[in-house]
Amino acid sequence: MATEVTCATSFETMLEQRGVTRRDFMKLCAGVAATLGLSQAMVPQIAYAIEDSVIGKETGKLTPVIWLELASCTGCTESFAQANNPDAATVVLELISLNYSETLSAGAGHSLELAKEQTIEAGGYLLLVEGALMEGWDGNALRIGWDGTPETFEQAKGTKIVEHAASNAAAIVCTGSCASDGGWQAAHPNPGGAIGVQAYLEKAKANGEFDFDIPPIINIPCCPSNPEHVVAVLVDVLLLDTVPELNEVNAPKFMFSQLIHDNCPRRGHFENGEFVYKFGSEEEKKGYCLYAVGCKGPQTKSDCPKVRWNRGLNWCVEAGAPCIGCATINPMKSDYNWVELNAPFLSRFKTLNINGLHVDPTHVAFGVGGLAVAALVAHGFGMKLTGRTKGGAPFETERKWDTKHPEKALCTADAAKTCATAQHLEQAAEKDAKSSAKSSKKSSAKGGDK
């Protein structure tokens, strides 16, 4: 397993490591530029009249940003456009200089590529990545900005574009689950060879494809990313001068460390054992807990219930829809993406992913003593089994509702084997085991030769 990216605890330290002085950085920061007397000191050249530059001034009161769109649906850009306070216009006019964005830039083609090139050369920019990298067909599953000549064929691959843009970036922000670990595109059978930014860069560096230090990577999961999260990270980095504290998947701790379940407004119904078993039912109208129809809130870490979506108006569960766990990321294991781990979305989960182990819940209920796990699982069968309520109801091996609706029932050990996803996970485990066995054989064989 590749090592974790070293995250500078302070943005400043990181900049220093990259040869950018405090003074240079101050120039980039909003609000600070004015105190340096920037506008008086420099010849007030006007916007696009600057000779040979298509990005205007290299530095100014805005922090340069390159927004790369890779294998994506543009949903994260769309989502960003829903931001308010500050809204998207304020961000691109008064907070960052968005020198490259396929969706928002006025320019196109050669001149837009030139804008990216000049920004990279100048350095000190933030790199935002939306969408997965595609390794399929030697990286030809994604090609952007090719001038048609054989010499530039290689550099127009999405993978190479990211490498190049990362080479001089101050930090990388992966917006959305796809950039973080490949997202749905990496779901079985991963037809285009999708992989997240962190895993790709670490692998490429280990393979000797480049030797620069990989900049700090901040993953912002969810599909799409929540604009409140993206803007909060931008504010952290640009105004507060810090990289937010990150969790084990390099996602900001203050957003992605608590379970959705723990902050869910329907949690009370869960505690009362009041569940929606059927859409269109009375229970649904009453706003009962969606756990029985597959809600992944109890296993998904995000602050969705607090930050909500579309300017704080609503979020999934409040629209009556179970959480589908789109905030789940595994940056170094793209086959453990949110789709693979959470589908079928509207069934109660059939396997639990605990520290990378996929286990059948019925086994866990009897075999594992951990209260949290047992509680979680037991809730599926009858809340009172957990022991929180003394002398609770007898354990239901199978709910009556489940016998009537086998297709939606919590998978038993036998049923789990018929589920496509479970099969894939088993195959993966087998394959991992085989390859590690092989490599150990190989190395021992080699040792023998010597």
Partner 1 sequence: MPKNATIQANEPTGTEVAVPISAPLVNGNSIIDPVNRIEGHLRIDMEVKNGVVDDVWVSGGLFRGMELVLEGREPTDATYISQRICGVCPVSHAHTSCIAGEKSYGIEIPNGARIVRNLVEGAQFLHSHILWFYNLAALDYVNPLEPVLSVLNSAGDAVDTAKAKELAGNTLALANDAGTSPADFMSLLERLAGFALNGQLSIFSGNWFDSADDAYNLPTELNLIGTAHYLEALEMQAVASEISGIIGGKMPHIMSSIPGGTTFTPTEENLDDILFRVKRLKEWITKTMIPDTYAIAPHYLDVAGYGAGVKRYVAWGVFDRESRDPAERYLPGGVWGYEDGIGNVAMWDEDKITETTTCSWYADDGTPVNPREGITEPLYPANDASAYDRNGKYTWDKAPRYDGKPYEAGGLSRLLVAYNRGNDFVKGHIDALLAHLSSAAGTKLGPEVLASTLGRTAARNIETLYVATLMEEWVGELIEALKGGDAATFAEPAKRTGEGTGMWEAPRGALYHHEKIVNNKITKYQIIIPSTWNISPRDADGVRGPMEEALMGVPVNDLEKPLHALRTVHSFDPCTACAIHINEPATGKTFSTVTSPWGVK
Residues 18, 173 contacting (CB under 8 angstroms): no
**Least Cβ distance, residue 32 to partner 1 (angstroms):** 13
Q: How far apart, in whole angstroms, are the C-alpha atoms of residue 90 and residue 382?
A: 50
Nearer to partner 1, 261 or 384 (CB): 261
Residues 177, 117 contacting (CB under 8 angstroms): no
Cis amide bond preceding 322, omega within 30:
no
The per-residue b/e assignment along 281-300, b for 16 or more CB within 10 angstroms, e otherwise, is eebeeeebbbbbbbbbbbbb
* Residue 78 tokens, joined: 């769309």
**Residue of 307, 68, 71 lying closest to 183 (CA atoms):** 71
Nearer to partner 1, 31 or 387 (CB): 31
**Least Cβ distance, residue 416 to partner 1 (angstroms):** 14
Q: How far apart, in whole angstroms, are the C-alpha atoms of residue 396 and residue 383?
A: 10
**Least Cβ distance, residue 121 to partner 1 (angstroms):** 13
Inter-CA distances, 430 with 94, 266, 442, Å: 52, 39, 18
**Least Cβ distance, residue 391 to partner 1 (angstroms):** 36
**Least Cβ distance, residue 87 to partner 1 (angstroms):** 7
Nearer to partner 1, 388 or 431 (CB): 431
Nearer to partner 1, 93 or 413 (CB): 93
DSSP label at 134? E
Strands in 63-69's sheet, in edge-to-edge order, are 96-101, 63-69, 125-130, 169-175, 217-220
DSSP label at 299? G
* Residue 50 tokens, joined: 């600057």
DSSP label at 185? G
* CA of residue 443 relative to chain centroid, distance: 36
| Contacts with 121 (C-beta within 8 Å, 6 or more apart), sequence order | 168
**Least Cβ distance, residue 392 to partner 1 (angstroms):** 30
| Contacts with 425 (C-beta within 8 Å, 6 or more apart), sequence order | 340, 351, 358
**Least Cβ distance, residue 422 to partner 1 (angstroms):** 11
**Residue of 313, 312, 317, 288 lying closest to 300 (CA atoms):** 317
**Least Cβ distance, residue 90 to partner 1 (angstroms):** 10
**Least Cβ distance, residue 367 to partner 1 (angstroms):** 28
Q: How far apart, in whole angstroms, are the C-alpha atoms of residue 76 and residue 72?
A: 8
Nearer to partner 1, 82 or 258 (CB): 82
